[in-house]
Amino acid sequence: MPFGNIGIGGLVLILIIALIIFGPSKLPELGRAFGRTLSEFKGATRGLVGGDEDEEAKKKPAAAAAADAPSK
């Protein structure tokens, strides 16, 4: 059962259930916490994906500097 095809009706139903369970005073706090968690997750995944590129970029200048250094 794919969850990517919820639709507007499903979202409204989820919001109504959340409103009943948590109440109107807790929903903004939950939204902020969810947003922070999502942004931290995105930052971590960017760090993991971009980390491979950073390591390669660090290796290239070090290899070029070693090739330019005079041999004794």
Of the pLDDT bands very low, low, confident and very high (cuts 50, 70, 90), residue 63 is low
pTM: 0.47
What is the number of other CB atoms lying within 10 angstroms of the CB of residue 27?
A: 14
In-domain check, residue 59: yes
Q: Which residues make Cβ contacts (< 8 Å) with residue 6, sequence separation at least 6? A: 14
In-domain check, residue 45: yes
Of the pLDDT bands very low, low, confident and very high (cuts 50, 70, 90), residue 9 is very high
**Percentage of the chain surpassing pLDDT 90?**
26
Q: How far apart are CA 24 and CA 5, in angstroms?
A: 27
Query: Are 53 and 62 a contacting pair, CB within 8 Å?
Result: no
Overall domain count for the chain: 1
What is the domain range of residue 48?
Answer: 26-65
- Does the CA dihedral 13-14-15-21 come out positive or negative? positive
Residue 1, classed as helix, strand or coil, is coil
